[in-house]
Amino acid sequence: MSNLKIEIFGPGCPKCMNTKELFMRALSEMGIPADLREISDVEQMIQRGIMSTPAVFINGDKVIEGKLPTMPEVKKLIKQNLE
């Protein structure tokens, strides 16, 4: 199993920080290795077509934009992207 690549885009707002924390907790609880990166560069956000934050990409695919996910949603997204 290869590591998931998770990118969390945002300017460091509370929702963005909470999203990062949820993903870190979920990965830890599930025992899944991942390359998790927090990206605040506006140019990268524009290039990726992000209109609102937080935005999360897993393995290059946008899975969340403009909302704070719940822990069950985060775990479901992680599981779906392991397949």
Q: Give the active site residue among 11, 12, 13, 42.
A: 13
Q: Which of 76, 51, 74, 49 is nearest to 60 (CA)?
A: 49
pTM of the predicted model as reported, rounded to 2 decimal places: 0.92
> How many distinct structural domains can be found in the chain?
1
Annotated active-site residue 55? The verdict is no
55-77, pLDDT tens digit by residue? 999 999 999 999 999 999 999 99
Which residues constitute the domain of residue 15? 4-80
Q: What is the pLDDT of residue 31?
A: 95
8-49, pLDDT tens digit by residue? 999 988 999 999 999 999 999 999 999 999 999 999 999 999
Q: What is the CATH number of the domain that holds 20?
A: 3.40.30.10
Annotated active-site residue 77? The verdict is no
Q: Give the active site residue among 16, 22, 45, 78.
A: 16
Checking if the pLDDT of 4 tops 90, the result is: yes
Q: What is the pLDDT of residue 2?
A: 61
∠ CA 11-27-76, rounded to 5°: 90
User: Which segments of the chain does DSSP mark as H helices, in order?
Assistant: 14-30, 42-47, 71-80
